[in-house]
Copies of this chain bind each other. A is one copy, B any other.
Amino acid sequence: MKANGLIVEYNPLHNGHVYHIQQAQKLTGSDCTIAVMSGNFTQRGEPAILDKFSRTRAALSSGVDLVVELPFLYAVQHADLFAKGAVSILDALKVEHLVFGSENGTIESFHQALKERIKNQAAFESILKQQLDKGLSYPEANRTAYELAGISSTLDLSSPNNILGFAYLQAAESLYTPMQVDTIRRIQADYHEQSITGPIASATSIRSAWQDEKTQEVKAAVPIKTFELLETEELHSWEAYFPLLRYLILTRPAETLRQIHGMDEGLEYRFKKYIHQSLNFQQFLSLIKTKRYTWTRLQRVCVHILSNTQKHIINEHLNGAACPYIRILGMTKTGQAYLSSRKKQLDVPLYTQLKDGMHPVADLELQAADAYYSILSPEIAAASRRQEISPPIFE
């Protein structure tokens, strides 16, 4: 059996994702599609609209054979760490191909950029540092460094999916994986696109349309399974967590907030200063945002406050290391057959159920899950928590 791997968030799974699943399968001719998916919180620092189990069901009903969790440790991080975690999981699963969607769509451009990046490493890093010292945000400084070091000649490294794809390729190189990396062109115009204009729309525009009760527009842009889940499951958004976030920022002293991952350079005082006058999450973020601190970075810090993710756990377990285990969220018969065929070759433990105390990274996962479920009624929260320690979904 041959497998191809995708790195996904499915927040929520839409027609563009289904197209990606199908095209990747066609391109690679593999028998099994494996998706490494972020759990309850996404890379941009948001609670996923549907929990990991619902999104796993949507994936399995749309052509994915095996859904593996990208641990929270890697998922709510900047692109390089996110990529490192995800690629190391696919590598550990002995996947033959990694296929990512990008604005560019040609893998040669990525390889070319990577070559240039390696050649101009010293210049790149020195410019990056300069720009950061000037007070630019990390993405801005990064973009400028690519440009000034003459790296992005063939690849536009200001497009979000090009950035992520480039990070995947870098991670694959650094892991010396035999996995072949390929890309397909995304057919949707813009990742940040705010409104639905046809059957292919961005996840952002779908979430926003759902919130505005534009049910029919959403229906046209997602598979029926996603639509059903949106209608029946508990939905999550930052605003629902705002009272809890507010409580935490108000009642924890600055020294406690400073222990939170990402709370650097005195940011804790900024958080405490502006929380009193903030009546919702959007307002709070607008107040604390600066040129240096991007919205995304601040959202990630907020997720880490909620999940009580402390610097020491990140320092002990992240450090650019490969993912220490593989956690199966769900599979089809095909996915199960693939796992059986590879089981003996795996160098990393395969977890079909989490339990407390099994691994510090898994404990952090459960802690983040408890934070995610905390806005639900105690009954539903307890039931969701039980899913975390139950066997994978089999469909």
Interface residues in chain A, defined as those with a beta carbon under 8 Å from any beta carbon in chain B: 242-244, 246-247, 250-252, 256, 276-280, 307-308, 367, 370-371, 374-375, 377-379, 381-382, 385
A242 to B381, CA, bound (A): 12
Q: Given A243-B381, A250-B370, A277-B382, 15 other A-B contacts at CB below 8 A? A: A243-B374, A243-B377, A244-B247, A244-B374, A246-B374, A246-B378, A246-B381, A247-B371, A250-B367, A250-B374, A251-B371, A256-B308, A276-B385, A279-B378, A279-B379
Chain B positions within 8 Å of A307 at CB level? 251
Chain B positions within 8 Å of A244 at CB level? 244, 247, 374
A276 to B374, CA, bound (A): 12
Q: Give the most central of A256, A370, A379: most B CB within 10 Å.
A: A370
Assembly stoichiometry (copies): 2
A385 to B247, CA, bound (A): 12
13 pairs, A vs B, C-beta closer than 8 Å: A242-B378, A246-B374, A246-B378, A246-B381, A247-B371, A247-B374, A250-B374, A251-B307, A251-B367, A251-B370, A277-B382, A278-B378, A280-B378
Contact of A243 among B256, B277, B378 (CB under 8 A): B378
Chain B positions within 8 Å of A251 at CB level? 307-308, 367, 370-371, 374
A39 to B280, CA, bound (A): 27
A296 to B195, CA, bound (A): 54
Chain B positions within 8 Å of A280 at CB level? 378
Chain B positions within 8 Å of A247 at CB level? 244, 370-371, 374
Contact of A252 among B276, B308, B374 (CB under 8 A): B308
A307 to B246, CA, bound (A): 13
Chain B positions within 8 Å of A243 at CB level? 374-375, 377-378, 381
Chain B positions within 8 Å of A370 at CB level? 247, 250-251
Chain B positions within 8 Å of A367 at CB level? 250-251
A180 to B274, CA, bound (A): 48
A172 to B308, CA, bound (A): 44
Q: How far is the CB of A186 from chain B (nearest CB, A)?
A: 36
A250 to B279, CA, bound (A): 26
Q: How far is the CB of A250 from chain B (nearest CB, A)?
A: 4
A279 to B375, CA, bound (A): 13
Q: How far is the CB of A393 from chain B (nearest CB, A)?
A: 21
Q: How far is the CB of A378 from chain B (nearest CB, A)?
A: 4
Chain B positions within 8 Å of A278 at CB level? 378
Chain B positions within 8 Å of A381 at CB level? 243, 246
Chain B positions within 8 Å of A279 at CB level? 378-379, 382
Q: Give the most central of A242, A247, A280: most B CB within 10 Å.
A: A247
A385 to B243, CA, bound (A): 14
Nearest neighbor of A307 in chain B, beta-carbon distance? B251
A277 to B250, CA, bound (A): 29
A378 to B250, CA, bound (A): 12
The 6 nearest A-B residue pairs measured at CB: A247-B374, A250-B370, A279-B378, A251-B308, A251-B370, A251-B367
